C-alpha cells in the first residue's frame, strides 16, 4: 500500500455533503482547502448562511453610519426644521 494513502484524511463536509477525504495538512485535521492552510476555509461573511442580511456587519455598519449622519444633521439644523413622523425622522 502506498504510504501517501495512509495520511490522515480531511473530514470537512463538502457542498455535496460528502467528506472531503483529501490528505490533511501535517499536524492538522483538515486539508489545505478546508482550514489546514492559512487563509483557507470558508470565506468571511459566509454568503451561503445569509438569510436576509438584516444583522450582517455590513448592514449594521450602514445603519450606524446613517444614524450618525442623521444625528449630525439634527444637531446642526434649527429645531423648527425637524419633524418626527411615526418613529421615523424627517429633516426638511
Ligand atoms: Zn478538505
Q: Stretch 12-19: mean pLDDT, rounded?
A: 92
Categorize the per-residue pLDDT at 49 as very low, low, confident or very high, splitting at 50, 70 and 90. confident
pLDDT confidence of residue 51: 84
pLDDT confidence of residue 61: 93
The Å distance, Cα 68 to ligand 1 centre, comes to 44
pLDDT confidence of residue 40: 78
> Mean of the per-residue pLDDT values for the chain?
80
Neighbours of ion ligand 1 (CB under 5 A): 10, 12, 20, 22, 31, 34
Domain ranges of the chain: 7-40, 59-92
| 3-class DSSP string for the chain | CCHHHHCCECCCECCCCCECCCECCCCCCCCCCCCCCCCCCCCCCCHHHCCCCCCCHHHHHHHHHHHHHHHHHHHHCCHHHEEEECCEEEEC
Q: Stretch 59-87: mean pLDDT, rounded?
A: 77
Amino acid at each position: 500500500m502506498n504510504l501517501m494513502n495512509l495520511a490522515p484524511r480531511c473530514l470537512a463536509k463538502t457542498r455535496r455533503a460528502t467528506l472531503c477525504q483529501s490528505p490533511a495538512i501535517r499536524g492538522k485535521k483538515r486539508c489545505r482547502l478546508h482550514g489546514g492552510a492559512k487563509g483557507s476555509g470558508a470565506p468571511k461573511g459566509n454568503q451561503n448562511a445569509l438569510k436576509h442580511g438584516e444583522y450582517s456587519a455590513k448592514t449594521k455598519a450602514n445603519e450606524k453610519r446613517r444614524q450618525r449622519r442623521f444625528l449630525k444633521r439634527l444637531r446642526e439644523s434649527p429645531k423648527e426644521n425637524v419633524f418626527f413622523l411615526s418613529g421615523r425622522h424627517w429633516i426638511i
